[in-house]
Chain A
Amino acid sequence: MLRKLALTALISAIASQSAADTHPEIEDLTLGFIKLTDMAPLAIAYEKGYFEDEGLFVTLEAQANWKVLLDGVIDGNLHGAHMLAGQPLAATIGFGTKAHIVTPFVFDLNGNATTVSNEVWELMRPAIPSDADGKPVHPISAEALRPALEAFAAQGRPFNLGMVFPVSTHNFEQRYWLAAGGIHPGYYSPDNSAGQIGAEVLLSVTPPPQMPATLEAGTISGYTVGEPWNQQAVAMGIGVPVATDLDIFPMRAEKVLGLRADFVEANPNTVKALTRALIRAAMWLDAEDNANRSEAVQIISSPGYVGADPVVLANSMTGTFEYEKGDIRPVPDFNVFFRYQANYPFTSDAVWYLTQMRRWGQIPEAQTDKWYAETAQSVFLPELYLEAAQSLVDDGLAPAEAFPFGSDGYRAEPSRAIDALPFDGRSPNAYIDSLPIGLKGDQRVIGNEVQG
């Protein structure tokens, strides 16, 4: 309590400091997004007038892919964007592109799934236990994939899987799922950014909308992607989702608001206004047990936003998920926009992403626990989030108990990962060493070999 008071005092001190001019420094903003259901807070903040309430005039622009979006933010064509949580972290440490990108706001938790082709599903199914109704028991372990791998190997065919970006949640999630089932997804090294060194299955980048078509063509045998592209495969009858991220590693920051650090520094009022508008949109999306979700589906089905058919969008947005055709199960937390402190940029979430980058060689050398914490804290900025939240509480627009004032940035609840391994964001190195497959300790990938 004392701590909470101290923090509140600090925040009001900051607030009074800038009280001289609280107007946004930049009022006209262009924000980028990718056509996925979790861009919803942006659409809602625009359509419900939250941006204008905050004195911001925002133009939302759909981007072709994650790389174009990241470059847009870095070169200033976009003031900010709906980013994969791993993107600001990777950019800041210089994997791929080097630029200091930060985030004051997390869009959502969860929202992805892994789908395999019908052919693979048939090979997998015998190894999966059935429940009383004859339906497969979830969560499904990647071990069930083993017969499919062997069948492909016997025919001399490579086993290809798709994901959307090298530092995407999807890549890490798919790798996590595979490794938990004893299948090696391959390493990255400084000289080889394909991520297929020593791989039993070959993961490669496919843009989200092309996933179903690529699966249908047989170029890939499965993929991990956000919605609506898993439900689309079910609707088309070409694949079966086998695991959602709730099964694999639940409750982790999925998309974040990515802003350039120098932009945040130069425009604190703009960033605060932007964060306030997005918090209000997120609250609206989760209000009264998702009562507004069907309206949200209508809004984002407009071609200017996600544009997919409302029926397909509604599948995952309204608390259910269809696995095999007709196997519809309740997944109330598939998309979480506000509850469970979803918007707070937890240091521990950032550390988790960094551990996965280290695990697969995207971070080529061992780092200290302190490095993980400091890197995470230089990118995920909860103080900005809490400042905006506090001002909403002060204005009577949000209840104080909705926000984790006083949190130290490390999630309290235990990890519910598919391999049941505990994750403690405070000791990332111990966690990395506990993972069954992946780089440990001082190991490095040199050429095609793991050394050390």
Chain B
Amino acid sequence: MGFGKYLVVRLLNALVVLTIVTLVMSALFVKVAEKDLENTIVQQVNAEFQSLQQQGKIPEDPDAWRAQRIAHYKEQYHLDKPYWWRVQYYFKNTLTFNFGKTKNPVFGSEKDVVAILKMAIPRTIQLFTTAQIIIITLGILLGVKAAQMVGSLFDRALSVIALVMSSIPMWWFGMIMLLIFSFKLGWFPSRAIPDPNLTGWAHIVDILKRMTLPVATIVIVSFGAWAWVIRNIMIGTMQEDFIMAARAKGVPERKVIYGHALRAAAPPVVTMVIMSLLASLGGAIITESVFTWPGMGRVYWIAIETNETNLIMGLTFVNVLLYLAGVIIADLAYGFLDPRVKVGASENI
């Protein structure tokens, strides 16, 4: 099976998964939204009735008027159609990025779901990508170092840190960071929304200050586990024959490690990088909430709290889409970096 065919099969497969996920999501959301919409309609009709009352224009038959208004809104929200019709309606709209509008504005005055997503995604990327880059750099440096001196004090300390840190809830650590550095010492602001009055250099400094605590939280909680995994991969690679050969040839140790071993260890590391970047794109819902960072996770949380069905649908769809794209990219990167894998993987399809 050639590379092209492999790619096509992989893409088709992802499309099928995407379709099914979207269908299931639609079925679920339509059910959740139903009750919520009914309540909204009753509220809207009540509000209309009250405003009519204030103007002294009370309809002759209030019950009939009410029933007529409710029917009108039901038609507008498609609640008069059967369940499956609504499911396929949502399904089609979602697949075509037609997410609609939210009931209440999110981020100031924005009501359009696509616009909200366009605002939130860059912010999440800004936060998590920065953190991820630091984590990867630290992870590789420390992991390689630990692999070089297996069993040493440094190696053990790193393992302990990795174990302890991976058991800590990131959002809890965020709370502690806020408690210490924001409320006790007052070094950093506790809210992530930047000051709109600042411009130029002051604005950049402001944003950096606001990013410090969340980035530090993410890095501190995650770098240990990363370093540990890289250490394990590196130990495996360092025992291979070609490393021995390189050393025997008299290649300097630095070059052996970073040039030969790390390059050989690249495929799993690259996959990990892509997957963790993707995982972070969805925004760690609670972490962003703790720091009120206005990214994807925060929007997700707002959407769920305020029952913004359209927004939840859009966010989930984009998340799944990004995830699937990432899986494909990771697979391709793996195949590209390590030709042996491609054959094996494609045989399984």
Query: Are A and B physically bound partners?
Result: no
